[in-house]
Structure 1
Amino acid sequence: SRAEDKCCGPQAVADARSVAHALDIPHYVVDEADQFERLVIDYFASEYQAGRTPNPCVMCNEKLKFGNLWSKAKALGCDYIATGHYAIIDHVVAEVGDPGRADAFIQLSSGGIIDPGYSYAVLRKGIDPRKDQSYFLFSLRQSQLGRALTPLGRMKKQRIREIAHSLGLKVADKTDSQEICFVPGNDYKTFLRSHLDDSEFHRGEIYDVDGKFIGHHDGIELFTIGQRKGLPGGSIRPRYVVHLDPETNRVVVGEADDLVCDQFEIDRVNWHPVAGIDEPGLRPTPLTATVKIRYNHPGAAATIVPLEDNRARIQLREPQRAVTPGQAAVIYDRDIVLGGG
């Protein structure tokens, strides 16, 4: 697939223009190329240079789609922005004694409590589990969620296509994409080689978990936790990348069991109001919830211990494979996003 066909390419602009024309609504194009380069692409490359695996979609949503886009929409006199994300945003007013919908959010199974009378937004999983994108929206603040609408989150993809067909929209049969929009073919290594100078790659050595020298590598940027492809041979059992050390540029490899983890910490945690955690981020008792450690992860039961400085400790009930620095850990109470980092 070609980069120009993705969500931020010329074809996407043409598709949006076509849909706007069919629906008889104004169409505006906002050029954010410079900001995208600085806030998303440069971040993407620098995270790999630091031995972490980035989450560019999270950054793009927070900084551009729900950040800069709102500024443009406000200038046009808009009250909300609506996006095509497969997630649900509920705007709730929790009133004293209200027996209705708000009470479902006031008391959560995790123990989170919302003060009555407080207006807030609740981010939830979309009803189509195959398409849910709430994971990518966890970092949005209340000021962003409160002015955003995500109508597709309440529909299955097939129903959305049926509606598009009924309206005669040419995008009705447009193929889905699970790739990073600016990385053709999801080949991040080729992208990094085109984006970084050769001197910017941090070359080093490969060792196994016992400290045995295995070989040399052409850049720590070209590895991610759990990776198997591209490692030196010579081992009877499969090898995986289990650790990256940006200080020494050392890549450590091991067996599948070496990837298992039952506890880790997250930083820059964004707690949503439904979590019931006040600043500076301390909670009297630990939080019991489900944690997704990457987008396609089914979620794992965990105890979350909020710490100072917007950090939290995640204690997994069952060990999980390939917990990867740089990837988001998003915390859920059933289908409700409590936060993440």
Structure 2
Amino acid sequence: MKVLAAMSGGVDSAVAAARAAEAGHDVVGVHMALSKSRAQTRSGSRGCCTVEDASDARRAAERIGIPYYVWDLSDDFHHLVVEDFLSEYAQGRTPNPCVRCNERIKFASLLERARILGFDAVCTGHYARIGTDGPDGAPSLHRSRNLPKDQSYVLAVMGPDATGRALFPLGEFEDKQAVREEARARSLGVSTKPDSYDICFVADGDTRGFLSRHLGSDPGQIVDADGTVLGEHDGTHGFTVGQRKGLGLSRPAPDGRPRYVLDVDPASRQVVVGAAELLSRRELVARDVVGFEPIAPGREVTAQIRAHGEATPGIVEAVPTDGEGVLRVRLVAPVRGVAPGQTLVLYDGDRVLASATLERHA
């Protein structure tokens, strides 16, 4: 099989490419240059698509013995991921840029280019597993054996078609140390490289500052659940549901307990804050459903709303029909910090059933 291996310059993608080549596939490595600044350098575990990363990927490809290329996808990345991130925050939503990157770059832009060039599949270093237990043997997506590193949540938006053209050689690894040891044994040169984390295009980790620089100032009020004005802010884009720190309030709640962001409304320029218990939701409502198999009302599922959050058992109450309507899930126990724009992923055991985007209110 002819395989295009996406090589970020990290240990995971290097080992994945090596395993694909060892399995007998005809592998070509490609580094996706996603940053507009080619002179950008890494800061520990922060940053992406740096000159160091491209060089690390090239050296790993040479060691594996596969061809290696750099593809400039920075325009696609900026338009489809960064601008989407800014637009979502401007609308008072909380997007997950990793979900968008996997959907629109790694398994849309990259996969389409691979198809045009005659590749059968794209190989990445994601921690997830692919099966064939979907409807009529269709491709299915499962959690990784390494549950702390599982990335099925951010991959669920791929859907079954893209999943059927993907390879995830690291899905069977039970811990990250085993991956590093294999990289060391293969002399790939990246065995001790730190993992990247946070939002890759916010290299300094200051998401609020990044949003302020790009979206500017749009002052408004911070109010409590009764509408009492408690303070002012420079822009609703600096807040997300569930946030506790950085509210900038001069006085505590009357009962002395912490306040949390309950809602963000760009139209009124208001940020609503209140007690922690007001954050709890037992019903989830979502649109833009990407399904791996048909789901009917009454189906028992587990629901996850954060990349590394726990999945909560629930029952599907409603599903879209012919693209109309919403996906509605009733949870057996409330979850906190449900924010519009977050990704909802439904599971049956370790198998992904569907991905969707949460709406503002249940």
TM-score by length of 2: 0.81
Q: Describe how 1:1-341 pairs up with structure 2 within 5 A.
A: 2=43, 6-90=47-131, 92=132, 105=133, 114=135, 118-155=136-173, 156-196=175-215, 198=216, 201-231=217-247, 232-235=249-252, 236-273=256-293, 276-277=294-295, 283=296, 285-305=297-317, 306-308=319-321, 309=324, 311-341=326-356
- The change in CA–CA distance for 1:3 and 1:193 in structure 2 (over 3 A counts) is farther
Structure 1: stretches of 5+ with no match in the other structure: 93-104, 107-113, 278-282
Instruction: Name the CA distance, whole Å, in 2 between partners of 1:14 and 1:4.
Output: 16
1:110 maps to none
Structure 2 distance, partners of 1:338, 1:310, is 18
Measured in 2, the distance between the counterparts of 1:252 and 1:139 equals 30
Shift of the 327–178 alpha-carbon distance from structure 1 to 2, 3 Å rule, reads: same
- Confirm or deny: 8 A CA contact 2:94 2:342 kept in the other structure: yes
1:25-49 Cα distance to aligned partner (Å, 9 max, x none): 0001110111111000000011110
Structure 2, unmatched stretches of 5+, are 1-41, 357-362
What is the number of residues matched between the two proteins?
Answer: 307
Cα contact 2:241–2:262 (8 A) shared by 1: yes
* 1:59, distance to aligned residue in structure 2 (A): 0.7
Percent identity between matched residues is: 41
- The 2-side partners of 1:185 and 1:303 are apart by 40
Matches of 1:148 and 1:7, distance apart in 2:
22
- Contact 1:6/1:12 (8 A) holds in 2: no
After TM superposition, the runs of 4+ consecutive aligned structure 1 residues lying more than 4 A away are none
| Matches of 1:3 and 1:59, distance apart in 2 | 24
Q: Equivalents in 2 of 1:16, 1:58: separation in Å?
A: 23
Quote the RMSD (CA, aligned, Å).
Answer: 1.7
Cα offsets for 1:295-328 (capped at 9, x unmatched): 1211111112213326201211001111111111
TM-score under structure 1 length normalisation: 0.86
Shift of 1:245: 1.3
Contact 1:3 / 1:181 at 8 angstroms: preserved in 2?
Answer: no
Residue aligned with 1:41, SS: helix
